[in-house]
Amino acid sequence: MAPSPAGGRKPLMSGNWKMHHNHFEAIQTVQKLSYRLTTADYDAVDVSVHPPFTDLRSVQTVLEGDDVPVALGAQHCHWEDKGAFTGEISPPMLAKLNVTYVIAGHSERRDLFGEDDEMVNRKVRAILAAGMTPIMCVGEHLEEREAGTTDERVSAQVRAGLADVSAGQVGALVIAYEPIWAIGSGRTATPDDAQAVCGVIRGVVSEVAGQEAAETVRIQYGGSVKPTNTAELMAQPDIDGALVGGGSLDPDDFSRIVQYREA
């Protein structure tokens, strides 16, 4: 597989704020981020921020009002358009706020809120149907890595998550490889290990959706991405971006991650 630039895939650097930043803090964070990022950055990479639901409208207003080319993202959604699902948010509601990317199947949703592969697949299809781009997360637990079943686990998640998604749609979406043991732990997969699994993911995409989809699908790495380790991860041929949690909360750190080319 050709390296990212040769593959023509524009890297996507996404900040997943999880349950951090109220809407006032969110406004300040995107404003500060926008002061630090330059046209050269936006030319080189796509950037998205994924605030909590209560911040989306405020962040949308700042991004659109100030013409900031950072994409608005969400962290989660339901798969139905509407209905009796107390506490849930639907894909069309997000689309109305000009949300571009929606994370589906983050390991915290899978492990803490019982989301399984079938639910993730329903969400991926619903997000696409609403005209947005899913960032579908996959990744293994530490026990699976130690048992040598990482490739098997991640491949099964990719296959299940992409069921009944057309080849064209698969080619346009984003898959985030997030080894669960690396999330919020300060432990990062080595660039070689991360590349190996991202290569496996691209291979599975090729099997289920064809070579063309495999060449265009963007694969992010996530799990303790920091300003100091981004460049070496991004140098890997099958890593096309990063899904950043803790390192995206501070606009100084996140802008340095986005600007990894200068590290």
Pick between residue 227 and residue 245 the one whose CB is nearest to ligand PGA: 245
As a whole number of angstroms, the distance between CA 238 and CA 150 comes to 17
80, exposed or middle or buried, with CB in 10 Å at 0-12, 13-18, 19+?
middle
> CA 111, 117, 121, 126 torsion: positive or negative?
negative
| Residue span 139-178 as binding mask against ligand PGA, x where in contact by CB under 6 A, dash where not | ---------------------------------------x
Tell me the closest approach of the beta carbon of residue 67 to ligand PGA, in angstroms: 27
Tell me the window of 91-99, 110-118, 198-206, 219-227 that interacts with ligand PGA (CB under 6 A): 219-227
User: Which of the following is catalytic: 108, 140, 144, 178?
Assistant: 178
The vertex-131 CA angle with 107 and 223, nearest 5°, equals: 25
Tell me the closest approach of the beta carbon of residue 16 to ligand PGA, in angstroms: 4
Residue 246 as a binder of ligand PGA (CB under 6 A): the answer is yes
User: Which of the following is catalytic: 78, 106, 115, 144?
Assistant: 106
Neighbours of 169 (CB within 10 A): 19
With tokens 């969110």, the residue in question is 26
The vertex-120 CA angle with 2 and 125, nearest 5°, equals: 75
- One-letter amino acid of 84: A
Residue 184 as a binder of ligand PGA (CB under 6 A): the answer is yes
Among 85, 78, 177, which residue's Cα sits nearest to residue 129? Answer: 78
Residue 236 as a binder of ligand PGA (CB under 6 A): the answer is no
Pick between residue 209 and residue 229 the one whose CB is nearest to ligand PGA: 229
Residue 227 as a binder of ligand PGA (CB under 6 A): the answer is no
Q: Which residues are catalytic?
A: 106, 178
